[in-house]
Structure 1
Amino acid sequence: MTGDTPDLANLRRDYATDHGLDVADLAPSWPEQFDRWFADALSARLPEPNAMVLSTADTAGWPSARTVLLKGIDERGFVFYTNYESRKGGELRANPHAALLFPWHPMMRQVAVRGAVVEVDRVETETYFAGRPRPSQIAAWASPQSRVLPDRAALDERYAATARRFPAESAIPAPPHWGGLRVVPETVEFWQGRAGRLHDRLRYRRTEQGEWIIERLAP
């Protein structure tokens, strides 16, 4: 048993049998194609369609992965926000390359991305931070992300102290150790599940000349 609800099971079967993917189906550019599939995920009411698995590696080659939320996408790449002093922040400083995966399983679709990582403009970070819910703003200051804590109470105490530091009527600035990162893709692969495991994998790849080409990969 897969644990699927009847609706999700039907959605998966429909996409596996009825939704093949060919080069002729693709948009001219990967941002346009991503927008199409993201709109489909929204229409299907998938939970957290902007959730993506971010994979990084440290200087010894040890990989790590975690789920983060996509907060922006355009022809420059995929943007998420984080504590720069977290484990992923430290790994990306040492090895500024990453992989992303959007696992839209009920639709039998995935989007896989590989590319370099750069910080977004500070103004962009501050603009985004200003629109976050106040509890999230306080948490960004309070949490020493990825550091060992003695217990939950220590984190709650840090949060309470930070809340006192910023009175309710005051604006909370973005912490200097917190901000946006952009994955600048070299490849963007669109994976469509098919019956019999003969899945469709079509990849946009940037050439050494800076042009984008589309390739079909074996499943």
Structure 2
Amino acid sequence: MTSETRAKLQAIPALTGTPPSLDLDALPASPVELFLSWLDVALEAQVPEPRSMTLSTADEAGVPDARVLILKDVDESGWAFATTASSRKGAQLAASPAAALSLWWQPISRAVRVRGPVIEASREESEADLRTRSPQAQASVAEGDWTLWRVQPTRVEFWQASLDRRHHRIVYVPTEDGWTVEATRAN
């Protein structure tokens, strides 16, 4: 990196959003509950495209690959997205069914990260999701190719910036009885 490029990048302000208040002593038992709460705050703050997320997978050599998709649903069965099985991401998921999701809501300086194994939804669910797309988008998909996938989280992390740079991190990890949750602040 040239010193000119470095100087240009360093001159760009970072974490310029306005973080909402956060009560680390009143966290819900489930990451789904916290996500839905944070999504409501994002919608109230008019965050542009709050369901756009980065999906990261790995190819057969283990090299990461990332692209932006739409979050379709979030519930106790997983975090859903869809794509064609014949796409590069579909092939990567078939070969190595694990993924990471990342959402960034700049105006409120919040991020959500999810990672875990990925399972295919039923053919009926995939077809139902395909029917929500425009007729033009539906027409471009081969018969039986559209697939709804769900990440079943092994870790869900909520991150919120803090103006003092002691950012908040809330991590949920599944257990046999539900979830453990740990909230920390950066030092």
TM superposition score normalised by structure 1: 0.74
CA distance in 2, matches of 1:136, 1:113: 27
**1:94-126 alpha-carbon deviations (Å, 9 max, x no partner):** 111110001112111000001110001111111
CA distance in 1, matches of 2:64, 2:185: 25
The residue number in structure 2 matching 1:19 is 21
Q: 2:159 aligns with which of 191, 195, 199?
A: 191
In structure 2, the residue corresponding to 1:39 is in which secondary structure? helix
The residue number in structure 2 matching 1:50 is 51
The residue number in structure 2 matching 1:93 is 94
CA distance in 2, matches of 1:62, 1:210: 34
Paired residue type of 1:117? V
In structure 2, the residue corresponding to 1:197 is in which secondary structure? coil
Q: How far is 1:44 from its partner? A: 1.1
Q: Which runs of 4+ in 1 moved over 4 A?
A: 1-4
Q: 2:148 aligns with which of 163, 180, 189?
A: 180
> What is the number of equivalent residue pairs in this alignment?
176
Aligned residues of 2:29 and 2:179 also touching (Cα < 8 A): no
Q: How far is 1:217 from its partner? A: 4.6
Which structure's residues are more often helix, by fraction? 1
Check 1:93–1:210 CA distance in 2 against 1; reply closer, same or farther (3 A cut).
farther
CA RMSD for the aligned pairs? 2.0
Mark the runs of 5 or more structure 2 residues left unpaired by the alignment.
1-10
Paired residue type of 1:202? I
Structure 1 residues 1-219: aligned runs within 5 Å: 2=12, 12=17, 14-15=18-19, 19-22=21-24, 24-141=25-142, 175-207=143-175, 209=176, 211-217=178-184, 219=186
TM superposition score normalised by structure 2: 0.86
In structure 2, the residue corresponding to 1:48 is in which secondary structure? coil
Q: Which has the higher contact order (CA 8 A, sep 6+)?
A: 1
Identity of aligned residues (%): 40
Mark the runs of 5 or more structure 1 residues left unpaired by the alignment.
142-174
In structure 2, the residue corresponding to 1:92 is in which secondary structure? helix
CA distance in 2, matches of 1:179, 1:108: 32
Q: Whose radius of gyration is greater, 1 or 2?
A: 1
CA distance in 2, matches of 1:191, 1:127: 33
